[in-house]
Homo-oligomer: A and B are copies of this chain.
Amino acid sequence: MQDLLIIGSTAFDTIITPTQRRDYIIGGSASHAAYGAAFFTKTRLCGIVGSDWTPEHTKLFTDRGIAVDDLEIRPDGKTFFWMGEYSQDMNIRTTLETQVNVLGEFSPNLTPASRRSPYLFLANGSPVTQMQAIDQCTELKFVVADTMNFYIASQRAELLELLKKIDGLVLNDEESEMLTGKKDIFAAAEQLCGMGPRFVIIKKGAHGSLYFSPTALFTLPAYPTRKLAEPTGAGDCFAGAMMGYIAGQDATDLQTIKTAIAYGTVAASFTVEDFSFDALKRCTREDIDARFREFQEMLRF
């Protein structure tokens, strides 16, 4: 079991679905990723929050053994805030409000222990900040990054530089098209592999994920949970849990990555069953493993 450092956004979200509304719940790419990863390995969370963040919020992470030495608390500002609303069929998400707040000043200065992490997951965030984390880590074995439409549009040059420094890239199907101009998911993945990473994982939401490298191609469906509450953070949890499993195994061969993707799929299937990571909060590693075995069995023929 090896340390996994996760860096990205820590946020408060207000989320509206056709049937429910929740105000000021914990969100953010690094939060969801770390919560998912902590089922599998020693996880370090690097992010920035403001004066509205309380010890109770921190305790949610430390209760799961997540190291928060690199969670910077800025008393002079407020935590990044995002407010979004889902459409009737939950397929379309509209951003109603974004307050960047202290995230705009995020410039991590990692603790010595975090700098020694061999595994690094760069959750959704600015490629500038993502590169700062890479530059500070001295013993990296395996680095995977996530990104999103906002940074593809606004920091493309920095993102293209980052791609040269990572082992794997995780992004969704719309983002893969945005970054490459290619609608065909395989062609997009192939082009992305030519831009730096050894492999690309394209997240397709309810339709599962696709792994692509110059030598391997496979796809897994999403676990078919019937209890969809709302999907915010599912993609972050997917990638975080995947990286947690990889760091926990301290192995990066193809079969380990595939098992890791399956565990990520299972962890994400809990995320969508409630708001924030409330469903995962009720889970033990045994619950994850039980659903993992069910997922294995589902795909055995």
Copies of this protein in the assembly total 2
Q: Which residues of B contact A300 (CB under 8 A)?
A: 299-300
A228 — nearest CB in chain B belongs to which residue? B184
Known: A204-B207, A298-B218. A224 touches B186 (CB 8 A): yes
Cross-chain contact B89 with A186 (CB below 8 angstroms): no
The contact of A208 among B184, B218, B221, B226, by CB within 8 Å, is B221
A255 to B183, CA, bound (A): 36
> Chain B nearest CB: distance from A242 CB in Å?
12
Count of residues in A whose CB is under 8 Å from the partner chain: 28
Take A220-B221, A221-B208, A221-B221 as given contacts and tell me if A226 and B186 are in contact as well, using a CB distance cutoff of 8 Å. Answer: yes
Q: A204-B207, A207-B204, A207-B207 are in contact. Are A220 and B186 (CB under 8 A)?
A: no
Contact of A222 with B222 at beta-carbon distance under 8 Å, contacts A89-B183, A259-B301, A301-B255 already known: no
CB of A15 within 8 Å of the partner chain: no
Cβ of A258 under 8 Å from chain B: yes
Q: A258-B301, A301-B259 are in contact. Are A224 and B210 (CB under 8 A)?
A: yes
Given contacts A220-B221, A221-B220, A222-B219, A262 and B210 within 8 Å (CB-CB): no
Question: Is residue A88 within 8 Å, beta carbon to beta carbon, of the partner chain?
Answer: yes
Cα A228 to Cα B259 in complex, Å, equals: 28
Say how far A229's CB is from chain B's closest CB, in angstroms. Answer: 13
**Distance, CA A299 to CA B299, complexed state (A):** 6
Near B by CB (< 8 A), chain A positions 168-223 give 183-184, 186, 204, 207-208, 210, 217-222
* CB of A296 closer than 8 Å to a CB of B: yes
Q: 17 interchain pairs (CB within 8 A)?
A: A89-B183, A89-B184, A184-B228, A186-B226, A208-B221, A210-B224, A217-B224, A217-B226, A219-B221, A219-B224, A220-B221, A220-B299, A220-B301, A221-B221, A261-B301, A262-B301, A299-B299
